[in-house]
């Protein structure tokens, strides 16, 4: 849901699949960059109600602290997304902060992967012997599956972002997990494969 004036696909996906937006009880935010928080509120409706009216919105405490400093909130441009799409969550009483690894539902665990932002989190989804890792912005491009140590420009702490990427790619390979990223080639799902000793992204 990139940029609030443009319609995102998520709301339409729910409608297409006959799922009620009110059936969602948890919304997990990997981090608080603008392109990951807009549409917390319905930008297409008057008065901008919550997109998921019965959900708690979960985010790491370190991101909340990082993105709500007086300095940032006072900044016309850099504070815009927080003011518009994050502060209302707190005002409505639906924001719930996390500190460390947190079970969100049976088989669904959020865990800290700082670097891209101070409180960036990823998600492990486990069911029987299958695993998926939702890695948010740890991978900015499929290329970084191979060139793991290339810095991702928007990272808050470059070396920490690289360390987080190494860890999660090692884990994905070890656990044969599907990887789900935010900015990877559509539909953003893939696996990590080896060819002649090097690691590559394989879209699914």
- Residues that bind Zn ion in the complex, under the rule CB under 5 A: 33, 137
Ranked by CB distance to Zn ion, the top (closest) residue is: 33
CB of 121 to Zn ion, least distance (A): 12
Q: Which two tokens stand for residue 49?
A: 């109600």
CB of 62 to Zn ion, least distance (A): 14
Q: Measured from the CB atom, is 33 or 60 closer to Zn ion?
A: 33
Q: Measured from the CB atom, is 55 or 139 closer to Zn ion?
A: 139
Q: Measured from the CB atom, is 52 or 152 closer to Zn ion?
A: 152
Alpha-carbon distance 157 to 115, whole Å?
A: 5
Residue 168 C-beta-side C-alpha neighbours within 13 Å: 34
Alpha-carbon distance 42 to 50, whole Å?
A: 6
Q: Measured from the CB atom, is 63 or 137 closer to Zn ion?
A: 137
Radius of gyration of the CA atoms of the chain, in A? 17
Q: How many CB atoms lie within 10 A of CB 149?
A: 11
CB of 137 to Zn ion, least distance (A): 4
Q: What is the separation, in whole angstroms, between the first and last Cα of the chain?
A: 21
CB of 45 to Zn ion, least distance (A): 26
């Amino acid at each position: 849901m990139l940029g609030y004036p443009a319609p995102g696909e998520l709301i339409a996906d729910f409608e297409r699949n006959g799922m009620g937006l009110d059936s969602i009880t948890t919304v997990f935010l990997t981090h608080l960059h603008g392109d990951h928080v807009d549409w917390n509120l319905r930008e297409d409706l008057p008065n901008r109600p919550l997109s998921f009216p019965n959900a708690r919105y979960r985010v790491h405490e370190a991101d909340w602290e990082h993105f709500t400093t007086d300095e940032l909130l006072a900044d016309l441009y850099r504070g815009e997304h927080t003011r518009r799409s994050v502060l209302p969550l707190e005002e409505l009483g639906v924001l719930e902060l996390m500190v460390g690894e947190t079970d969100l539902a049976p088989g669904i665990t959020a865990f800290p992967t700082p670097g891209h932002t101070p409180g960036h989190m990823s998600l492990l989804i486990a069911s029987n012997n299958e695993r998926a890792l939702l890695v948010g912005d740890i991978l900015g491009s499929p290329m970084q599956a191979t060139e793991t140590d290339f810095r991702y420009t928007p990272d808050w702490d470059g070396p920490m972002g690289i360390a987080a990427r190494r860890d999660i790619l090692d884990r994905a390979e070890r656990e044969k997990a599907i990887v789900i990223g935010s900015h990877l080639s559509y539909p953003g799902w893939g696996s990590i494969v080896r060819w002649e000793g090097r690691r590559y992204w394989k879209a699914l």
